[in-house]
Amino acid sequence: MADKSICSNCGNILKDQWLVCKFCHQARWKMITPYFVWGITFLAGAWWSLTQKLSASDNLITLLLPIIGAIFGIIGAVMLLMALIATLRGLSVRKVPSADMKGSTPNLYTSTTPGSMVGGGVSNLNTPAIKPSIPDVSPQTQRAESELGKQKAQIIHCHKCKRKNAPSSKKCDQCGTNLLPDTGIQQRLGVFVSALVVVAISFVAAFLLLKYKPEFGGKDWIYFAGLAVFGGVILIFGILWFLRITPLYERYATRAKRHIELNPWQAIDDYGSAINHAPKTQAFEYLLARAKLHQGLGMTVEARTDWQHALENINTRIVLPRASIDLNKQRAEIYKNLGMEDEYAMEMLQYTIDKEETFKTKRGQIAEGWEEGLEKGSEDAQRQELQKLRAAIMINQKYKIVGQCKKCRSMVDLDAKLDCTNNSKHHITNINPTLRKID
């Protein structure tokens, strides 16, 4: 089949990245052939890279050859696998009669009444031609629209042929595709290949460290073990993710995201189904997504109800042992959506205080070694973001932060950096946000 956007077998529109037609499995040989060629090329490059003899005196580029070879090998193997799968699927192509091809033009003069036939099967020209009616919506969907109203009708758009289906449909009326699909093979392969690349880099780095490190000390063994364990964990993750069964709530959520622009009413319904089947952590995210969708449609009451349920959800999780501090930030955001400004300010200020207390490095501390330097750089960047957030809230004179100053021997007001306003070098304890009494 020619590399066109229309399938020569079934007449359906094809996407550029498809190696075979998703509807009839017709192979696109002009796209499959380069996969075979490049796959073999990458494997040849991998073989050359991995067979080179290395020594400790070689330069950095030469020492990186094993990593490059591993990456080339993975890319080549995946490309050959995709080409082979496409070839096998192309062998099982279903030939579609030209009369049944999508987009084919029917004979507008053909009549079903014998009296209208005039030699060769052409109708009487005095009889008005009947234009074909190709409904874009199935009868079930039309009934659904009449029941729900045109503005609020739930419609499921098939992700393959774009057919509109009734909300109760399990499969597409036109192509028979499951309307609640599993995770696609392309996404699974993408995650798996990415995991393999990370594993290859990790293992090759561990090998180079072990073989070419002149003096292999105690810390080097820790790095070696860490790289090996990390690679093993990522490999197991990639395999499990590739073989995993997609949970039902993920399927509903995926379809909901597709329908936010296509049909928001269907998206709302799918988010509801996802919330009912999802664990609390995922249900919280779906509640926020549905609330945002309700708000965008002007349904403020429904949006507020979703935020209330999200608040109840997060309150049940925030009291659990080892609950993340970030839950407090999420709760503050819900307070803000609900118009609870004081609760938002107090919760967010307390979050910034608790978050900064978890940092291992202190302000003004000098890092020793590159590991500590990286950690301090990351925490300093986070500390600055927290200070900006506190400053933005404390612009309103109603909100302030206080702490016990050992030098001043009293409770004092603190600035956005959590320093004593009398002297920034004073040591502060018992830091808490509070409301300022304004006359």
Residue 69 in tokens = 């070879």
pLDDT tens digits for range 156-169: 888 888 888 888 88
Residue 345 lies in a domain: yes
Q: How far apart are CA 416 and CA 363, in angstroms?
A: 14
Among 388, 415, 414, 399, which residue's Cα sits nearest to residue 345? 399
In a domain, 310, yes or no: yes
**Distance between CA atoms of residues 302 and 172, nearest Å:** 30
At 214 the pLDDT is 61
At 256 the pLDDT is 92
Assigned token pair, 134 = 């190709």
Task: Choose one of 310, 337, 357: the last residue of a domain.
Answer: 357
Q: Which domain holds residue 19?
A: 1-104
Q: What is the pLDDT of residue 361?
A: 84
Residue 330: closest CA among 275, 284, 291, 385: 284
**pLDDT at residue 122, rounded to an integer:** 34
CA-CA distance, 383 to 375, in Å (whole number)? Answer: 12
Supply the pLDDT for residue 226: 82
Specify if 225 maps to a domain. no
65-91 and 185-212 are packed helices; what angle lies between their axes, rounded to 10 degrees? 160
pLDDT for the residue numbered 92: 63
- Given 357, 373, 391, the domain boundary residue is 357
> How far is the CA of 160 from the CAs of 23, 289, 295, 318, in angstroms?
8, 25, 30, 41
In a domain, 422, yes or no: no
Which segments of the chain have a pLDDT < 70?
Answer: 1-5, 9-11, 16-17, 22-23, 52-65, 92-152, 212-220, 367-371, 438-439
Does residue 38 lie in a domain region? yes
**What pLDDT is attached to residue 149?**
40
pLDDT for res 148: 41
What is the DSSP track for 297-352?
TT-HHHHHHHHHHHHHHHHHHHTSTT--THHHHHHHHHHHHTT-HHHHHHHHHHHH
What CATH number is attached to the domain comprising 258? 1.25.40.10
371 within some domain: no
pLDDT at 312: 94
Q: What is the pLDDT of residue 147?
A: 43
Domain endpoint, select from 54, 71, 104: 104
Asked whether the beta carbons of 28 and 11 are under 8 A apart, the reply is no
The number of distinct structural domains making up the chain is 2
If residue 235 lies in a helix (H) or strand (E), which one and from where to where?
A: helix 218-243
Q: Is residue 224 part of a domain?
A: no
- CA torsion sign, 361 to 365 to 368 to 369? positive
pLDDT of residue 276: 93
Of the candidates 343, 351, 330, the one whose C-alpha atom is nearest the C-alpha of residue 287 is 330
Whether the model pTM is above 0.85: no
Matching residue, tokens 């750089």: 377
Q: Give, in order, the Cα–Cα distances in Å from 369 to each of 210, 323, 373.
A: 22, 32, 6
Looking at the domain assignment, is residue 433 inside a domain? no
- Does residue 82 contact residue 59 with C-beta atoms inside 8 Å? no
